[in-house]
Amino acid sequence: MATNAMPRTLDSAAREALAERLRFYRDLGLMDFYRRDVEPLALDSQPEPASGALAAPETQLAEQVLAPASPLQSAPGAPEQLVNFYGEEDAIKTRKNFSVPAIGAVVPAEERATALQILRDEIGDCTRCPLHTGRNHLVFGDGSPTARLLFVGEGPGADEDAQGLPFVGRAGQLLNNMIAAMGLKREECYIANVVKCRPPGNRTPDPEEAHTCSPFLFRQIDVIRPQVLVALGATAATYLLGARQPLAGLRGRVHAFRGMSLIVTYHPAYLLRDPRQKKEAWADLQIAMKELGLQRPQAG
Ligand code: URA
């Protein structure tokens, strides 16, 4: 709707500060945060540009900073959003009356399976990053849509790529044992990865690959809203917490994560290489159990 309000302009320092904040949110995959930043500038205080006129400076800035060159951006002629990050939110909203949860919002338990399926459909036969070229199966995630405990790994390995399921190889066997030691069944938890396609030779995902894929992980987490997340290894910890730090400094305590509790521990593949660290990992899992109100299962 056209208004007579004057366009809001920012001085160059404020523009750079906004751009920096938007880049930070984009890199974390936090779409909701930067929408809050940009939409008031675009919608509340700017006159509708006459057709052919340049968009207001802040809107242009947001578009430059936020819109990645992605096959998911709106097709020409499609109704435009002022800020369009990968286009997923717009597409998901049009289906089955499902609304993407805002941070802190709760998807009712009975709708979570559908919400995850919609997200899976959104990802489709993904070609958003180069990892798709070596993929046999995209590994979306596995487990209960109403899980109270959600594990995040790095990315699929060969076994996972072959089966389309996370943590089904040797590291997965160890993860299953860790879950059983907590007195839980694997199918009661949810398991996902930072990237959904196998990096060649099981290398660590590149930042670009992780930033492209992790918004989907964030959205899975926002649908399930487990009480506790466990980041398995440095890659999961880095992309969930948005800061690269040595694992040692992140383990052994509870981090606040979007209204949930996040615990960082060693990746099971690392524990297979250095079993002496299993004791430390068990200490981390006990922190998770405490957060969940779980007792250590009795032997026998
Ligand atoms: N390692 C991971 O990080 N994820 C898997 O799914 C399997 C192995």
Q: Are 229 and 152 a contacting pair, CB within 8 Å?
A: yes
> What is the Cα–Cα distance from 204 to 202, expressed in whole angstroms?
7
Exposed, middle or buried by CB within 10 Å (0-12, 13-18, 19+), for 119? buried
Exposed, middle or buried by CB within 10 Å (0-12, 13-18, 19+), for 13? exposed
The pLDDT score that the predictor gives to residue 86 is 32
Please tell me the distance between residue 157's alpha carbon and the centre of ligand 1 in angstroms.
6
Q: For residue 43, what are its two tokens?
A: 């919608």
Q: In what order do the strands lie in the sheet with 228-232?
A: 142-143, 190-193, 149-153, 228-232, 260-265, 254-257
Query: Could you tell me which residues come within 8 angstroms of residue 273 by beta carbon, excluding any fewer than 6 positions away?
Result: none
Q: Around 277, how many Cα atoms within 13 Å sit in the side-chain half-sphere? A: 17
The pLDDT score that the predictor gives to residue 30 is 46
Residue 124: φ, ψ to 5°: 55, -150
Q: pTM value?
A: 0.69
Please tell me the distance between residue 169's alpha carbon and the centre of ligand 1 in angstroms.
8
The response to whether residue 193 sits with its C-beta less than 6 Å from ligand 1 reads yes
How far separated are the first and last CA of the chain, in Å rounded? 69
The residues of the chain scoring below 50 in pLDDT are 1-7, 25, 27-56, 58-59, 63, 65-100
The response to whether residue 166 sits with its C-beta less than 6 Å from ligand 1 reads yes
The pLDDT score that the predictor gives to residue 244 is 86
The pLDDT score that the predictor gives to residue 7 is 42
What domains, with CATH codes, occur in the chain?
56-292 (3.40.470.10)
Please tell me the distance between residue 153's alpha carbon and the centre of ligand 1 in angstroms.
5
The response to whether residue 205 sits with its C-beta less than 6 Å from ligand 1 reads no
> What is the Cα–Cα distance from 234 to 60, expressed in whole angstroms?
36
Q: Which helix (H) or strand (E) holds 74?
A: none
Residue nearest to atom 7 of ligand 1 (CA): 167
> What is the Cα–Cα distance from 52 to 30, expressed in whole angstroms?
31
The pLDDT score that the predictor gives to residue 296 is 75
Please tell me the distance between residue 235's alpha carbon and the centre of ligand 1 in angstroms.
11
**pLDDT by residue (tens digit) across 74-122?**
333 333 332 223 333 333 333 334 444 555 578 999 999 999 999 999 9
